[in-house]
Chain A
Amino acid sequence: MVENAQTLTRSTTWAAWLRGFAQEAVLPALVMVGLVGIWEASVWFFKIPVYLLPAPSVIWADCAEISDVILNHTLATLHTVLIGFLVSIVISVPLAVVLTSSKGIATAVYPVLVITQAIPKVALAPLLVIMLGANELPRVVITFLVAFFPLVIASATGLMSVPHDLIELGRSYKISLWQELCRIRLPYAVPMIFSGLKVAITLSVVGAVVGEFVNADKGLGFLIVSASAFFQVPVAFGALVLLSLMGVVLFQVIVVIERIFFPWSAESAGNSFM
């Protein structure tokens, strides 16, 4: 009986999964294909010049021709994005722990955080190049500055949202502050930290491109600037598409990491959106 029930639920979950897959993947893909088709058709139909709006087929052809160059630029940007993102994690989560553990520190540091957010990063980028040199470092710093704030806020919110009873439960067993952090507060904050990570990873791509616009000799941001300068509009469009794809793929990587390593977080009610 029990086994039957289990096979039954398993087959129904398969059916549900298939239906979910159709709804979540096939439909959006069809919409995307449709939009690209409309784009292609309108470019031909209205005879739009290639320097204004190249057709998808032209973008594909021009980019495929120099695919190895584009691959190098993509890897360069990916490198900056990932390093900036990792630095954001390494700094933001401990910073959130410090901010939430003491009212005094929070009051002292919070205005500084807000100021770092108020500074326009595009305006800061040229100055950072002067300060840090014409290398990858200023690009990583810009990426970090763009990405870290939402992660700090999300992590701090998660750490603060632990129910009072749970903290009291720990205290009733005389656990240390360190144990309280590792065994109760940080695990409890995981769903919020992940929603912060999802925002941060997409912002990291934005940050890296801003850095590359100002100072770079490679990267997709650099490719957009240089290709536009030579009116290679299809290549610039190709770089743009790749940047968007990079954002989407990295976002999905975070989603998958959450589902694999923190299934309870991915399923928790507070995190049902995405």
Chain B
Amino acid sequence: MIEISNASKVFTARDGHPVHALSDIDLSIDDDEFVSLVGPSGCGKSTLLRLVAGLAPSTSGSIEVDAIPVSEPRRDTAMVFQAPTLLPWASIEDNVLFPLKVMNVLDGTSRRRAHELLELVGLAGFERKYPRELSGGMQQRAAICRALIHDPRIMLMDEPFGALDALTREEMSLELLRIWTDRPRTILFVTHSIPEAVLLSDRVVVMSPRPGRIADILEVALPRPRSFAMEGDPAFQATAQKIRSLIFEHHG
């Protein structure tokens, strides 16, 4: 359970002026819930993610995971970035094993687990390849395996499919859904794509900029398992439309 209450984040800009990246964020996320953060650039989505990750402290308010305040990165949390951020000198397998190595928990079963994960995302046989030998989509799949290798309870994904082409992106969304359905965990997912947010999430948090705050939180009332065929569904359309109007009314 992630509990964000009254959290604010103020940066100091280069000219010395304070920038309110986040203001009065209240959000609680249940275990195994899939929550998306949607909003225009500069609404503080990524900042919120980094606060939950423990990579940056909040200026005021509190962020708690299981009633424990987050003051530093937690080992049951994993991040996925927009870029695959694989180590160019390490094989795909070694990249996937990276978290276990740096946490000193590599054991006899680790390699098998890495293989299983790579198989799960369709990268079986690529263990010995290097990142530069893989396409962008395949690299991002490997990055997701890396995030899953220590079986984190919380996954924080910062526009993980943002750098991929549209087709690969849809494919990856479905794959993520499948992985999450197989083995549920809490996912906080930042995206610019409204359909992606609706398709994946239990709830969509719509944010608005200057200062970054929550405009509204929408339940996605669509049954699971989900597929892109549901895009025609009136409930899907209505939710997407609601999100769109929330974003653009603040812009207009």
- A166 with B73, Cβ < 8 A, contacts A173-B99, A175-B102, A267-B132 known: no
By secondary structure, the B interface counts as: loop
Q: Which residues of B contact A187 (CB under 8 A)?
A: 87, 89
Q: Which of B54, B81, B82, B132 has the most A CB atoms < 10 Å from its CB?
A: B81
Q: Which of A168, A169, A262 has the most B CB atoms < 10 Å from its CB?
A: A169
- Inter-chain CA distance A187–B54, complex, in Å, is 26
| B88 near A268: Cβ-Cβ < 8 Å | yes
A14 at the interface (CB under 8 A from B): no
| A171 near B102: Cβ-Cβ < 8 Å | no
- Inter-chain CA distance A264–B94, complex, in Å, is 14
* The residue from A163, A174, A264 contacting B132, defined by CB atoms under 8 A apart: A264
A194 to chain B, nearest CB (A): 13
Which residues in chain A, 162-179, are within 8 Å of chain B measured between CB atoms? 163, 165-166, 168-175, 179
Closest B residue by C-beta to A184? B87
B210 at the interface (CB under 8 A from A): no
Q: Which residues of B contact A163 (CB under 8 A)?
A: 83, 85
Q: Which residues of A contact B102 (CB under 8 A)?
A: 170, 173, 175, 179, 183
A78 to chain B, nearest CB (A): 31
A interface footprint on B59-97 (CB within 8 Å = 1, 0 otherwise): 000000000000011010111011101011100000000
| A262 near B89: Cβ-Cβ < 8 Å | yes
B51 to chain A, nearest CB (A): 13
A235 at the interface (CB under 8 A from B): no
A190 at the interface (CB under 8 A from B): yes
| B83 near A173: Cβ-Cβ < 8 Å | no
| A174 near B73: Cβ-Cβ < 8 Å | yes
B55 at the interface (CB under 8 A from A): yes
- A171 with B89, Cβ < 8 A, contacts A163-B83, A165-B81, A165-B83 known: no
- Inter-chain CA distance A64–B36, complex, in Å, is 79
| A172 near B73: Cβ-Cβ < 8 Å | yes
B229 at the interface (CB under 8 A from A): no
Q: Which residues of A contact B82 (CB under 8 A)?
A: 165
B167 at the interface (CB under 8 A from A): no
Q: Which residues of A contact B55 (CB under 8 A)?
A: 168, 171-172
- Inter-chain CA distance A173–B102, complex, in Å, is 7
B218 to chain A, nearest CB (A): 29
- Inter-chain CA distance A183–B100, complex, in Å, is 13
| B130 near A264: Cβ-Cβ < 8 Å | yes
Q: Which residues of B contact A173 (CB under 8 A)?
A: 73, 75, 99, 102-103
By secondary structure, the A interface counts as: helix
Which residues in chain B, 130-147, are within 8 Å of chain A measured between CB atoms? 130, 132
Q: Which residues of A contact B99 (CB under 8 A)?
A: 173
| A168 near B75: Cβ-Cβ < 8 Å | no
- Inter-chain CA distance A179–B101, complex, in Å, is 10
| B89 near A190: Cβ-Cβ < 8 Å | yes
- Inter-chain CA distance A166–B85, complex, in Å, is 6
| A172 near B88: Cβ-Cβ < 8 Å | no
B interface footprint on A238-274 (CB within 8 Å = 1, 0 otherwise): 0000000000000000000000001011011000000
Closest A residue by C-beta to B85? A165
- Inter-chain CA distance A171–B81, complex, in Å, is 13
B37 at the interface (CB under 8 A from A): no
- Inter-chain CA distance A245–B91, complex, in Å, is 37
Closest B residue by C-beta to A180? B102
Which residues in chain A, 65-98, are within 8 Å of chain B measured between CB atoms? none
A236 to chain B, nearest CB (A): 46
B53 at the interface (CB under 8 A from A): yes
Closest A residue by C-beta to B101? A183
| A264 near B89: Cβ-Cβ < 8 Å | yes
- Inter-chain CA distance A184–B102, complex, in Å, is 11
- Inter-chain CA distance A113–B53, complex, in Å, is 40
Q: Which residues of B contact A264 (CB under 8 A)?
A: 88-89, 130, 132
| B85 near A169: Cβ-Cβ < 8 Å | yes
Closest B residue by C-beta to A168? B55
Closest A residue by C-beta to B77? A172
Q: Which residues of A contact B81 (CB under 8 A)?
A: 165, 168-169
A-B contact sample (17 more), CB < 8 A, given A173-B103, A179-B102: A163-B83, A165-B81, A165-B85, A166-B85, A168-B55, A169-B79, A171-B55, A172-B53, A172-B73, A183-B102, A184-B87, A187-B89, A188-B87, A190-B89, A262-B89, A264-B88, A265-B89
The 5 tightest CB contacts between A and B, nearest first, are A165-B85, A172-B79, A175-B102, A165-B81, A264-B89
Tell me the B residues contacting A by CB distance below 8 Å: 53-55, 72-73, 75, 77-79, 81-83, 85, 87-89, 98-99, 101-103, 130, 132
What are 9 sample pairs from A and B whose C-beta atoms fall under 8 A apart? A168-B79, A172-B77, A172-B78, A173-B99, A174-B103, A183-B98, A188-B88, A262-B89, A265-B89
